[in-house]
Chain A
Amino acid sequence: MAIIYNPHKKKGFFRIPSGATQAVSCAFSYSASSYTTSDPDPTPTITGDSGGVFTSTAGIVINSATGEITLASSSVASYVITYTVRGKACQQTVEIASGFDNDYCLEFDGVNDYLICGNDSSLVNLGTGSTFSVSLWFKPAASAFTSWGRTLASMSDGGAGAGWIIRFDNAAATPTKLMMEKAWGVTSLEFPLSGTHGSYTWDITATPYVWWNLVVRWDEALGASGEGTFYLNGNDVTGSLTCDLTNYSGAVPDFLIGSEHAWTPPATDHYWSGNIDEVAYWNKYLTDADITAIYNSGTPGDLSSHASVANLKAWWRMGDNAPAYATSDPQWLLIENSNTV
């Protein structure tokens, strides 16, 4: 209904001025007033007139046409979102808070699935006096126990014989150990898939499709040529044992998850069968307390607030915190999260 300007309350019929226009509405609203950086990106509902422009202050990534907020790319803060249409502006305050959810992992088919994560020097700590640790969560499928060589993670140059490989053993068709190799067939550290160490007893093979937290740590300066330790669900399952690893002498291979380089990289082999989640690389010989914190009583936690976060050089969340466009067309894009969460 048209609104007629009649300040003197005159009675009778009025002629609507030819230039009169309908009132402009800039009404809009987001579904909530607060989001976390791990929530789905929100787009507001425009109940007023369309065709306006969304703006806000620096720190928020917002689509000027739709108002969609890219939460993972926005800074944690409170923002006033303004929608301006034909000179009229409406505002809503939106709070963006830090969030940590573990909603996803990746499922590997044991045939050819794997993840390639680059070969930056931050991932190379094998020289004199170096230390590193790798932490991850894994859930073996039933087929993980019927073929040897299932690889969780690796950074190996194949036949050249340097680097490390964390995988089920390759000594039999039915694997019985989880090991770290420095090269194909050269075991450096291992523990049985079922066993007892101290007061802790485990059996990885008893039931497939169960999540386990695994940490391996290594210190070149310990012992004669380096020592390492495996931890399962926060428990030491090996003690500190001799663990001889060799630094790369030529091209640095890629860090792989779910596979290892074959004899001649970049070919790959020995694919994981099952799920892998929250893979992290640390340039530190993690302490027992560090490892207990990673296990976190069985619940993956936010490593960006871990006590040793300064040593967290890479963290692949395996599906969480992925960009909205990171579908598998044809690849999942899994950004490294050590300094981005």
Chain B
Amino acid sequence: MAKFTNYSMSFDGVDADEINCGNDSSLLGSGDFTISTWIKISSFSSSWEGICGRGFIGATTGYGLFSNGSSSKLGFQVREGGNVQEIYTDNTVSLDTWYHFVGVRVSGGTSNIYLNGAVQVADFTESYTIALSLDFIIGHPKTGTLDVDGQVSDVAFWDSALDANTIASIYASGTPNDLTLAASYTSGGGTDKSGDLQGYWRCGEKATFDGSNWTVLDQSTNSNDGTSANMGIDTRIGDAPDSINNGLTLNMESDDRVTP
């Protein structure tokens, strides 16, 4: 059986590689929300590296998932200007290893993070007002700095707080599945949240390249397609969680697939 996800996007960590998914209100995050990604870190810098989110790691307002090079951990941050709440994974993460990382924000309640389907010890509580309209970006937190060096696949955003069983279901023991399908949420005893899916960028799959930039389709019911910057055609690679050695053609046309 073919695996669902076989490709990812690679970010080099040096020249502001990014996929900008816009600032639509569906991604605002003013109330409860969940943000999820598969991430494979190639190297840590000495500070923070933004993975995905909007208006985070900086004197702005927003939320996001990131890695921290000084601690070698993954983190989740919600902030309202200088007021910040952030939590980290229990343990360090290894380089060149795929992880499923999820941040769940409960406005006014207890927010948590999950690594490979397991809730982490740290949590926080806040009631920040998140109202700014900074872009949702994959690859770094804001223009030009703090880039992630690694691969990213299957980024998703829901406007509700997913529970532990639901997150374990979508983790699916390390194999990404289709988040538009109800079964992906319920297979491990979770609750179908496909209707709350507001953004879903599979990154490698269904992306197109115009010769300069990638368009990464939003595969939720919204149309917040991402547009890359500083990313060449070689940044889509055939390596994804639980799937390796997948092929990609270079310089070939649609009519180069022929009958033997």
A334 vs B253: C-alpha distance when bound (angstroms): 14
Q: Is B239 an interface residue (CB 8 A)?
A: yes
Which of chain B's residues have a CB closer than 8 A to the CB of A337? Answer: 2
Which of B98-106, B137-145, B240-248 lies at the interface? B240-248
Which of chain B's residues have a CB closer than 8 A to the CB of A334? Answer: 246-249
Which of chain B's residues have a CB closer than 8 A to the CB of A74? Answer: 1
Distance between B170 CB and nearest chain A CB, rounded to angstroms: 14
Which of B27-35, B110-118, B125-133, B181-189 lies at the interface? B181-189
In the complex, the answer to whether A330 meets B233 with C-beta atoms within 8 Å is yes
Which of chain B's residues have a CB closer than 8 A to the CB of A64? Answer: 181-182
Best-surrounded residue of A64, A123, A327, A330 (most CB of chain B within 10 A): A330
Contact count band on B: 35 or more
Q: Is B70 an interface residue (CB 8 A)?
A: no
Best-surrounded residue of A104, A115, A331 (most CB of chain B within 10 A): A331
Known contacts A72-B1, A330-B208, A331-B209; A255/B257 CB under 8 A? no
Known contacts A106-B257, A114-B250, A319-B257; A333/B245 CB under 8 A? no
CB-contact partner of A104 in B206, B245, B251, B258, under 8 A: B258
A102 vs B1: C-alpha distance when bound (angstroms): 16
Which of chain A's residues have a CB closer than 8 A to the CB of B196? Answer: none
Smallest Cβ-Cβ distance to A338: which chain B residue:
B245
In the complex, the answer to whether A104 meets B1 with C-beta atoms within 8 Å is no
Q: How many residues of A contact B (CB 8 A)?
A: 62
In the complex, the answer to whether A335 meets B205 with C-beta atoms within 8 Å is no
A146 vs B166: C-alpha distance when bound (angstroms): 60
Smallest Cβ-Cβ distance to B250: which chain A residue:
A114
Chain B interfacial positions (CB closer than 8 Å to A)? 1-4, 6-7, 178, 181-183, 187, 204-206, 208-209, 211, 233-234, 236-239, 243-254, 256-260
Chain A interfacial positions (CB closer than 8 Å to B)? 37, 55, 58, 61-62, 64, 72-76, 102-109, 111-118, 120, 122-123, 137, 139, 211, 255, 257, 266, 268, 275, 277, 300, 313-314, 316, 318-319, 321-323, 325, 327-337, 340-341
